A and B are shown apart, each in its own frame.
Chain A
Amino acid sequence: MSNILEVDNLTVTDMRDQDEIVHHISFELKKNSCLGIVGESGSGKSITAKAILGLTNPWLKSEGTVKYFGKNHCTDMLKLDTNSLRVIRGQHICMILQDSMSAFDPLEPIEKQMGETFMENLKVSKIQARNMAVEYLKLMNINDADQVMKKYPHQLSGGMLQRCMIATALAMKPDIIIADEPTTALDSINQREVVGEFQRLRELTGTALIFISHDLGVVQHLSDQLLVMKDGEGVEYGDAKTIFSNPQHEYTRHLIATRLKMSQSFRKAMKSGIGR
């Protein structure tokens, strides 16, 4: 299958002290596939995602190439001007953030915020925007969408807001969704549901997904390819199943071993009990 995004030799430098934060990252994203990026805090996962979209702070300089293959053209995202980048960010590549509470404006109800995005990017009328919002919230398994849309962000739970954010991204019918730790702040029930929504989203729209997380369980559940990052470097990259079953780099082995220790005792405990 053809690639939709090719990142080659991406390097991010802090211009204030010439400190290189991300070193020569390269990866490819195929159509309708999911790339998982794992690594600990400070490993450069989020910076990499932001650099692709040109969302980094002004003092950070990105070098290398980020080739995005649109409908019938190919562009280098790092060379685009602000306006063309805005169009790509709004309609072709969407980003979903970890902290859903601060991603929404606390002073506006959900309806207005979702509607605004649709009207701005898809040039639809207010009524059409409203109908779209209801439709896509229902897709995200929110049954009382009319009620939810009237609410302000603080009246909704983290899981609910996360779903509103995914619904907004989904309605743009983007080619790529970049999700930065979208399930980290959620409890296990909401986490399972949000992960389920991502799977549905891929099945429904064929959107390619970059899923950033440090939860190996979730990444394993979703990803086809995997990029392991440490201190701004990509230490391992390849097929997710292969890496999980046969990690080459010492750091990947360490990550897998520590997580396995915890999940094993949990699985063992889940199986044992009186009368079973």
Chain B
Amino acid sequence: MKNLVEVKNIHKSYLKVGMNFSGTRIQVLNGVTFDIEEGLCVGLIGESGSGKSALSRLILGLDKPDKGQGTIHIQGQPVRQWIKKNPGKISVVFQDFASSVNPMYTIREAISEPLRASGQRGNIDAKIDELLQKVGLFLDAKDRYIHELSGGQIQRICIARAISTNPKFLVLDEAISSLDVSVQTQILDLLQQLQVEMKMTYLFIAHDLQAVSHLCNKILFLYKGEIVEELHSGQLANVQNHYAKKLLGSVIPFEI
């Protein structure tokens, strides 16, 4: 299978807050290397502070790695160049759905925003209907305000916005973490179905191992700025790394 995203030996450090004069830097990513194959769903697991969000920002082209320290390529091109040439082909869904959408927007406005921004003209209403149907929301809800909706519904709107530009690659940064367990399952099912329908590639960042192993083909374990383990989600028993082993062993699964 072809690689869509290639991350090579990424280093990233930030200036320590409040210590600008001393110039102390905190190393967040320490030589991260991995590939994301086209059409797969890759899970990224790591505790808070392990560099998950820093990594997702780099992959989205929102931030640059340290000078001369590693490269990120999408389809063989540097990520920022690729994004410029392929607008809307990479999308993101964040954890904090409430602050991802302007609460003063109606559903119609929220979804038409990325459509217009990516240069879509013509019958935008029909496109909105199609997207709402895809994410499983009622068609007559278009004129309701975002703040009237439940968390699961807003997250569906965020997903509709993210897929409105037919992306090739979708980054889901803790996209289900703030949802209730039964809603999580619904959103996971939706993501699974959309991936097949729209032939997307996912990077699924989360800390819930059960959700990750349910959705993803491959799981990466990020620990202290390094990828310490890479596993196929069907073969978790092959785990070698101590940290990943401990993480997997600590899950308290529900059983009958």
Q: Establish whether residues A266 and B252, one from each chain, have CB atoms under 8 Å apart when the complex forms.
A: no
Q: Establish whether residues A267 and B180, one from each chain, have CB atoms under 8 Å apart when the complex forms.
A: no
Residues of chain B lying within 8 A (CB to CB) of residue A272: 234-237
Residues of chain A lying within 8 A (CB to CB) of residue B181: 40, 214-216, 255, 258-259
Q: Establish whether residues B151 and A262, one from each chain, have CB atoms under 8 Å apart when the complex forms.
A: no
Is A73 close to B, CB under 8 A?
Answer: no
How many positions in chain A have a CB within 8 Å of any CB in the partner chain?
40
If A40-B182, A40-B183, A189-B247 touch, whether A263 touches B255 (CB-CB below 8 Å) is yes
Q: Establish whether residues B48 and A270, one from each chain, have CB atoms under 8 Å apart when the complex forms.
A: no
Q: Establish whether residues B253 and A255, one from each chain, have CB atoms under 8 Å apart when the complex forms.
A: no
Stretch from B82-90, B126-134, B209-217 contacting the other chain: B209-217
If A187-B47, A188-B247, A275-B238 touch, whether A265 touches B252 (CB-CB below 8 Å) is no
How far, in angstroms, from A259 to B256 measured CA to CA in the complex? 11
Residue of B182, B214, B247 ringed by the most chain A CB atoms within 10 A: B182
B230 CB to nearest A CB, Å: 14
Summarize A's interface: helix, strand, loop or mixed: helix
Residues of chain B lying within 8 A (CB to CB) of residue A191: 250, 252
Closest A residue to B189 using CB positions: A261
Is A195 close to B, CB under 8 A?
Answer: yes
Is B156 close to A, CB under 8 A?
Answer: no
Residue of B184, B211, B213, B254 ringed by the most chain A CB atoms within 10 A: B254
State which residues 17-63 of A face B: CB under 8 Å: 40-41
B180 CB to nearest A CB, Å: 4
Q: Establish whether residues A218 and B252, one from each chain, have CB atoms under 8 Å apart when the complex forms.
A: yes
Residues of chain B lying within 8 A (CB to CB) of residue A71: none
Q: Establish whether residues A273 and B255, one from each chain, have CB atoms under 8 Å apart when the complex forms.
A: no
B91 CB to nearest A CB, Å: 24
Is A16 close to B, CB under 8 A?
Answer: no
Q: Establish whether residues B211 and A262, one from each chain, have CB atoms under 8 Å apart when the complex forms.
A: yes
Residue of B210, B237, B246 ringed by the most chain A CB atoms within 10 A: B210
Size bracket, chain B contacts: 20 to 34
Q: Establish whether residues B256 and A260, one from each chain, have CB atoms under 8 Å apart when the complex forms.
A: yes
If A215-B181, A262-B214 touch, whether A269 touches B235 (CB-CB below 8 Å) is yes
A266 touches which of B184, B188, B210 (Cβ 8 Å): B210
Is A245 close to B, CB under 8 A?
Answer: yes
Is B251 close to A, CB under 8 A?
Answer: yes
Interface string of B87-122 (1 = CB under 8 A from A): 000000000000000000000000000000000000
How far, in angstroms, from A262 to B235 measured CA to CA in the complex? 16
Q: Establish whether residues A270 and B248, one from each chain, have CB atoms under 8 Å apart when the complex forms.
A: yes
How far, in angstroms, from A259 to B207 measured CA to CA in the complex? 16
How far, in angstroms, from A187 to B255 measured CA to CA in the complex? 20
Is B233 close to A, CB under 8 A?
Answer: yes
Is A220 close to B, CB under 8 A?
Answer: yes
Residue of A189, A255, A269, A276 ringed by the most chain B CB atoms within 10 A: A269
B48 CB to nearest A CB, Å: 7
State which residues 47-90 of A face B: CB under 8 Å: none
Residues of chain A lying within 8 A (CB to CB) of residue B27: none
A217 touches which of B48, B182, B185, B252 (Cβ 8 Å): B252
How far, in angstroms, from A262 to B206 measured CA to CA in the complex? 14
A276 touches which of B183, B210, B237, B255 (Cβ 8 Å): B237
Q: Establish whether residues B47 and A270, one from each chain, have CB atoms under 8 Å apart when the complex forms.
A: no
Residues of chain A lying within 8 A (CB to CB) of residue B151: 41
B215 CB to nearest A CB, Å: 9
Q: Establish whether residues A269 and B247, one from each chain, have CB atoms under 8 Å apart when the complex forms.
A: no
A254 touches which of B182, B235, B251 (Cβ 8 Å): B182
Q: Establish whether residues A192 and B238, one from each chain, have CB atoms under 8 Å apart when the complex forms.
A: no
Interface string of B163-180 (1 = CB under 8 A from A): 000000000000000001
26 contacts between A and B (CB under 8 A): A40-B181, A41-B151, A41-B180, A188-B248, A188-B251, A192-B251, A215-B181, A217-B252, A217-B253, A217-B254, A244-B256, A256-B256, A258-B185, A259-B185, A260-B254, A260-B256, A262-B188, A265-B210, A266-B209, A266-B253, A270-B236, A270-B237, A272-B235, A272-B237, A274-B235, A275-B238
Starting from the known contacts A188-B248, A266-B214, 6 additional A-B residue pairs (CB-CB under 8 Å) come to A187-B48, A191-B252, A220-B254, A256-B256, A269-B237, A270-B248
